[in-house]
């Protein structure tokens, strides 16, 4: 098999029917990786031997008449903050360089049980802190549509691997937009589930009340397929919900007739790229032509989203990253004299500038005399933001908005301007704070040929509405999967 543009759904059907061997599917992926990866730099670790062994196991199951699962023989890439016991999980950080966990993340177990073949671990902003994939300790990843531009972050490697067809699907994590923002900038489909829909067991923590694992794909169908596989109760994650998981694939052809769609005024702001607003408003008109109703709505506390996020997320990061002290695992400075010196030099040398910046911000927000003024206040405003969405969803079924205010910017353009970089996530942060499901999918191109993404949000555990609306728009726009050939 040499068609690297096949969808995950198509690969699985062909492998399960015996028309294609899983080893050929995986071999095709590695051929494509060899061709493209030197220019894109999407991967930190590749495992050809392990992947081929897994593919051979799938082929043996097919030959014996057993069903290897809904992702049979599908090559998958996994973000490098998701635990894999046979591959390093470094979080793109020197402090965890070459660290191999002793266990699998829940989503990795579910992928493999479904017949998927993990080909490697993808690059990311260190500890998922960034919006451009430039904060990796090892290398930046490039946007396959224009190698001079960023792919978004923090899951930039996972997005770039799918956008360039090195794999049909991948997994990322989304704390403030780290799946949806790179999906928009690379022309892929990126899904952030409801908080609690997918187990976080084995996801190395950044912001524990915000982190979510979700898929990248080139089609909404593949997105729904991966969501079906990775969703569901996991007793090892106390925040993972026992809410029943529907067959997400069954909603894709339902259409949007009579669906009420909200357009929030706060997401169409001064300073955003005019082509982005034009494409999203055109998509709203497409929904109307399909029988949906669009209504203007307000989410008044949206203006506080960036401030609230960068207090809550950094406070949680400060706590979560305290464990990296050079004592139990990971990097340990060879120069220490005494315990305090060990802590200081290990963290100085092991963490990059952005991680240090967020740890310091979070430590300050939690410090005595300031936690009431900053952290507690941020949590209170977060509650108000969630209430905005709850009230809006009394009048509408889904909300649509731009995913990002601009298309992909150039590598190095914002790396020395943290505030400007933080504003790249201005439209995605709110869904994490409100714990609701959201997807980004392509809705057009700008004058430079760069992808534009539209975001669709729904009430908690209504992934079916998100996917139904996304599939309808995908069909109506007729945009073929945007496979970049860098």
Catalytic residue from among 7, 9, 154, 424: 154
Q: What is the DSSP string of 23-74?
A: HHHHHHHHHHHHHHHHHH--EEEE-HHHHHHHHHHHHHHHHHT----TTTT-
Residue identified by tokens 């016991």 is 85
Are the C-beta atoms of residues 158 and 172 closer than 8 Å to each other? yes
90 included as an active-site residue: no
Q: In angstroms, how far is CA 412 from the centroid of its own chain?
A: 22
178 included as an active-site residue: yes
Q: Can you tell me the distance from the alpha carbon of 48 to that of 292, in angstroms, rounded to the nearest whole number?
A: 47
Are the C-beta atoms of residues 256 and 294 closer than 8 Å to each other? no
Q: Can you tell me the distance from the alpha carbon of 293 to that of 170, in angstroms, rounded to the nearest whole number?
A: 33
The pairing of beta strand 189-192 with beta strand 213-217: antiparallel
Residues near 69 by Cβ (< 8 Å), separated by ≥ 6? 113, 114, 115, 116
Question: Positive or negative CA dihedral for 181, 460, 103, 327?
Answer: positive
380-407 burial, b if ≥16 CB within 10 A, otherwise e?
ebbeebbebbeebbeebbbbbbbbbbbb
Are the C-beta atoms of residues 122 and 157 closer than 8 Å to each other? yes
Catalytic residue from among 9, 27, 79, 279: 79
Helix (H, G, I), strand (E, B) or coil at 214: strand
**150: how many CB neighbours lie within 10 A of its CB?**
30
Catalytic residue from among 93, 178, 241, 472: 178
Are the C-beta atoms of residues 365 and 374 closer than 8 Å to each other? yes
Question: Positive or negative CA dihedral for 203, 207, 213, 218?
Answer: negative
Q: Can you tell me the distance from the alpha carbon of 320 to that of 315, in angstroms, rounded to the nearest whole number?
A: 9
Cα–Cα distance list, 48 to 51, 53, 118, 301 (Å): 5, 9, 9, 48
Q: Can you tell me the distance from the alpha carbon of 8 to that of 111, in angstroms, rounded to the nearest whole number?
A: 12
Q: In angstroms, how far is CA 297 from the centroid of its own chain?
A: 27
Q: Can you tell me the distance from the alpha carbon of 398 to that of 274, in angstroms, rounded to the nearest whole number?
A: 23
Residues near 413 by Cβ (< 8 Å), separated by ≥ 6? none
414 included as an active-site residue: no
Q: In angstroms, how far is CA 439 from the centroid of its own chain?
A: 10
Cα–Cα distance list, 113 to 68, 71, 225 (Å): 8, 9, 14
Active site residues: 79, 154, 178
């Amino acid at each position: 098999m040499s068609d690297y543009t096949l969808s995950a759904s198509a690969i699985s059907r062909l492998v399960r029917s015996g028309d294609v061997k899983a080893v050929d599917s995986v071999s095709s992926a590695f051929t494509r990786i060899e061709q493209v990866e030197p220019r894109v730099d999407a991967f930190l670790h590749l495992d050809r031997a392990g992947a081929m062994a897994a593919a051979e196991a799938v082929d043996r199951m097919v030959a014996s008449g057993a069903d290897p699962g809904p992702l049979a023989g599908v090559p998958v890439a996994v973000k490098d903050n998701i635990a894999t016991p046979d591959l390093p999980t470094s979080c793109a950080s020197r402090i965890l360089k070459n660290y191999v966990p002793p266990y699998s993340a829940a989503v990795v177990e579910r992928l493999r049980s479904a017949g998927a073949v993990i080909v490697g671990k993808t690059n990311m902003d260190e500890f998922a802190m960034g919006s451009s994939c430039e904060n990796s300790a090892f290398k930046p990843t490039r946007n396959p549509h224009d190698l001079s531009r960023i792919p978004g972050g923090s899951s930039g490697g996972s997005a770039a691997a799918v956008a360039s067809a090195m794999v049909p699907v991948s997994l990322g994590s989304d704390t403030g937009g780290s799946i949806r923002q790179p999906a928009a900038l690379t022309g892929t489909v990126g899904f952030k589930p409801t908080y609690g829909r997918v187990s976080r067991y084995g996801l190395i923590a950044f912001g524990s009340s915000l982190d979510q694992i979700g898929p990248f794909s080139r089609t909404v169908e593949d997105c729904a397929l991966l969501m079906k596989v990775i969703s569901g109760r996991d007793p090892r994650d106390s925040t993972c919900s026992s809410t029943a998981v529907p067959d997400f694939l069954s909603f894709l052809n339902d259409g949007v007739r009579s669906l009420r769609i909200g357009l929030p005024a706060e997401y169409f702001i001064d300073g955003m790229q005019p082509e982005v607003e034009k494409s999203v408003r055109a998509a709203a008109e497409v929904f109307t032509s399909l029988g949906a109703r669009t209504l203007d709505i307000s989410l008044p506390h949206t203006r506080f989203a960036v401030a609230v996020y960068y207090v809550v997320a950094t406070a949680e990061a400060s706590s979560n990253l305290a464990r990296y002290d050079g004592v139990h695992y990971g990097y340990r400075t060879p120069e220490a004299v005494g315990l305090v010196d060990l802590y200081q030099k290990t963290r100085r040398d092991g963490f990059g500038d952005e991680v240090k910046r967020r740890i310091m911000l979070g430590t300050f927000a939690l410090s005595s005399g300031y936690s009431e003024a900053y952290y507690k206040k941020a949590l209170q405003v977060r509650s108000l933001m969630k209430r905005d969405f709850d009230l809006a969803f009394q009048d509408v079924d889904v909300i649509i908005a731009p995913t990002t205010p601009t298309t992909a910017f150039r590598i190095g353009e914002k790396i020395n301007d943290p505030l400007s970089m933080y504003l790249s996530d201005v439209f995605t942060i709110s869904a994490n704070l409100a714990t609701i499901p959201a997807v980004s999918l392509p809705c057009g191109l700008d004058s430079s040929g760069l992808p534009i993404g539209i975001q669709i949000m729904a009430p908690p555990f209504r992934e079916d509405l998100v996917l139904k609306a996304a599939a309808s728009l995908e069909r109506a726009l007729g945009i073929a999967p945007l496979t970049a050939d860098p």
